């Protein structure tokens, strides 16, 4: 029944059968990698069989996922993923770059990257007949779990810090989840959730705890791969200078480290299947005030030391990242690096992306803020092809957005007043 071989611990490399464990390594608490059945996939599918599938969602990659068909049909859960990639030529010029794109994850059903993970976890929950799914969340993971669960009639419970932005809490409530606000940090909510799940027998989606979140998140790498294949075809025809390009460079914001690890896993899957011959460079961006993973990378260690997180980018505000080890490896193994940015740079990035028609929440704009830094530091070269990921919508945190702009003037309803302010 299981569509995967088992799990491998990212720390001690012990392998487990699908029924043997559910969350993390019983020996050392390490994050578990799902081991896909690469041999069977290779025998059954060529890359063209995947790229010619019709689903305009992450479900086009079902053959590469460790779950079977999602429950129901034509629901928002079936629409997760397959987000657009936009060219940003004006920002590229401004930064002295030639090739810059943005993948806009705010266009997921609940407006963040987290839908990828929640769509796959809710499908897994259905498969194992879990009555209740639960997660701790700063907001987006919860909104995604609540939304994907509502779509297929799954019961969901969300623990969020009481400081979560209001729009995110509104989403949780509107999607009909049971919402419990914790008088504490995200980390407090996280620990409480795993305890409650054990106590009450709920299926826990916590990021960097449930191995299936990463499997959902890896689908973003598959989409980037397909886009890259298509882009190559065009460039070839036009005899573009990109024919002899350096590897794609991907910028992604990092909190717990599960998104960056998922993107890394997706490209590793493609590499193992022999469908790509080069890995992209992956660059993680953290807020200066919440940089536990960047700190570990810079100290050349996989031991993550917790910080006391303080940043306005709530989605990446984490004391103890739950997927830090794999997040360090994601950049180390791809010749990437970590960049840290201030809250002021994040706000500036919201404003710059906004002028391109892209509305990002603080954690979403963080990747672009990282690119601005990286370009200044010479981490990327002017002709590198660069893809920045916007992980969440600006509508999620309107208060932060208002810090990126000047307030609108209020005038009397007369032409004279209009003339005066123009």
Ligand X SMILES: *Cc1c(COP(=O)(O)O)cnc(C)c1O
Give the residue with the Cβ less far from ligand X, 106 or 126: 106
Q: Is 12 a residue that touches Zn ion (CB under 5 A)?
A: yes
Closest approach of ligand X to the CB of residue 256, in Å: 3
Residues between 109 and 148 that touch ligand X (CB under 6 A): 112-114, 140
Q: Are the beta carbons of 85 and 339 closer than 8 angstroms?
A: no
Q: Residue 106 and residue 86: Cα distance in Å, rounded? A: 13
At 352, is the secondary structure helix, strand, or coil?
helix
Closest approach of Zn ion to the CB of residue 15, in Å: 10
Give the residue with the Cβ less far from ligand X, 77 or 367: 367
For tokens 């995967």, what's the residue? Answer: 4
Give the residue with the Cβ less far from ligand X, 112 or 340: 112
Task: Pick the closest to residue 303 from 286, 328, 338, 340 (CA basis).
Answer: 328
Task: Pick the closest to residue 35 from 297, 209, 265 (CA basis).
Answer: 265
Give the residue with the Cβ less far from Zn ion, 9 or 358: 9
- List residues bridging with 4 in a β-sheet: 36
**Contact map string, positions 42 to 81, toward ligand X, x by CB under 6 A:** ----------------------------------------
What are the DSSP calls for 63-88, one per residue? Answer: GGSSS-PPSSSSSGGGG-----EEE-
Written as six digits, the tokens of 30 are 């390490």
Residues touching Zn ion, count (CB under 5 A): 7
Instruction: Select the binding partner of residue 334 from Zn ion, ligand X, none (C-beta < 5 to 8 A, by kind).
Output: none
Residues between 233 and 262 that touch ligand X (CB under 6 A): 253-259
Give the residue with the Cβ less far from Zn ion, 12 or 170: 12
Residues touching ligand X, count (CB under 6 A): 19
At 306, is the secondary structure helix, strand, or coil?
coil
Closest approach of ligand X to the CB of residue 1, in Å: 29
At 270, is the secondary structure helix, strand, or coil?
helix
At 391, is the secondary structure helix, strand, or coil?
coil
Q: Are the beta carbons of 284 and 252 closer than 8 angstroms?
A: yes
How would you list the strands of the sheet with 32-36, edge to edge?
Answer: 15-16, 4-9, 32-36
The region of 9-17, 51-59, 266-274, 298-306 touching Zn ion under the rule CB under 5 A is 9-17
Q: Residue 65 and residue 219: Cα distance in Å, rounded? A: 9
Give the residue with the Cβ less far from ligand X, 65 or 111: 111
Written as six digits, the tokens of 53 are 């599938």
CA distances from 246 to 28, 242, 385 (A): 39, 8, 7
Give the residue with the Cβ less far from Zn ion, 27 or 418: 27
Give the residue with the Cβ less far from ligand X, 259 or 388: 259
Task: Give the count of beta carbons closer than 10 Å to the beta carbon of residue 382.
Answer: 12
The region of 5-13, 91-99, 157-165, 351-359 touching Zn ion under the rule CB under 5 A is 5-13
Closest approach of ligand X to the CB of residue 364, in Å: 5
Q: Residue 28 and residue 10: Cα distance in Å, rounded? A: 10
Residues between 24 and 53 that touch Zn ion (CB under 5 A): 25, 27-28, 30
Closest approach of ligand X to the CB of residue 363, in Å: 3
Q: Angle at which helices 324-332 and 258-272 pack, to 10 degrees?
A: 50
**Contact map string, positions 341 to 370, toward ligand X, x by CB under 6 A:** --------------------x-xx------
Instruction: Select the binding partner of residue 112 from Zn ion, ligand X, none (C-beta < 5 to 8 A, by kind).
Output: ligand X
By beta carbon distance, the residue nearest ligand X is 392
Interface ranges with Zn ion (CB under 5 A)? 9, 11-12, 25, 27-28, 30
Interface ranges with ligand X (CB under 6 A)? 112-114, 140, 207, 253-259, 315-316, 361, 363-364, 391-392
């Amino acid at each position: 029944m299981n569509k995967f071989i088992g799990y491998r611990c990212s720390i001690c490399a012990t392998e487990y059968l699908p029924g043997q464990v559910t969350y993390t390594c019983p020996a050392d608490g390490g994050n578990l990698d799902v081991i896909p059945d690469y041999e069977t996939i290779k025998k059954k599918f060529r890359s063209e069989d995947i790229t010619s599938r019709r689903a305009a969602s992450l479900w086009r990659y079902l053959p590469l996922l460790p779950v079977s068909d999602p429950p129901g049909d034509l629901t928002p859960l079936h629409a997760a993923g397959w987000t657009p990639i936009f060219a940003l030529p004006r920002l590229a010029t401004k930064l002295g770059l030639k090739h810059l794109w943005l993948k806009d994850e705010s266009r997921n059903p609940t407006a963040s990257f987290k839908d990828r993970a929640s769509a796959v976890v809710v499908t897994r929950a259905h498969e194992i007949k879990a009555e209740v799914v639960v997660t701790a969340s700063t907001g987006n993971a919860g909104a995604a779990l609540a939304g994907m669960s509502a779509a297929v009639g799954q019961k969901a419970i969300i623990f969020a810090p009481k400081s979560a932005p209001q729009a995110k809490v509104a989403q949780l409530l509107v999607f009909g989840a049971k919402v419990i606000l914790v008088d504490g940090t995200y980390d407090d909510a996280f620990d409480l959730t795993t305890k409650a799940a054990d106590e009450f027998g709920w299926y826990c989606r916590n990021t960097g705890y449930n191995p299936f979140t990463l499997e959902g998140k890896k689908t973003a790498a598959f989409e980037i791969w397909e886009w890259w294949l298509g882009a190559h075809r065009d460039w070839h025809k036009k005899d573009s200078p990109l024919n002899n390009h350096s590897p794609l460079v991907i910028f992604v914001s990092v909190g717990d480290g599960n998104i960056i690890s998922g993107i890394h896993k997706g490209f590793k899957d493609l590499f193992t299947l022999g469908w790509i011959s080069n890995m992209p460079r992956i660059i993680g961006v953290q807020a200066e005030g919440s940089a536990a993973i960047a700190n570990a990378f810079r100290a050349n260690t996989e031991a993550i030391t917790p910080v006391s997180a303080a940043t306005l980018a709530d989605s990446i505000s984490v004391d103890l990242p739950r997927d830090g080890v794999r997040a360090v490896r994601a950049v180390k193994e791809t010749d990437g690096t970590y960049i840290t940015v201030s809250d002021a740079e994040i706000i500036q990035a919201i404003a710059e992306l906004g002028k391109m028609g892209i509305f990002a929440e603080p954690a979403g704009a963080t990747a672009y803020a990282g690119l601005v830094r990286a370009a200044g530091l010479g981490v990327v070269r002017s002709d590198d092809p660069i893809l920045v990921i916007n992980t969440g919508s600006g509508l999620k945190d309107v208060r932060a957005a208002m810090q990126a702009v000047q307030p609108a003037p209020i005038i009397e309803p007369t032409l004279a007043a209009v003339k005066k302010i123009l």
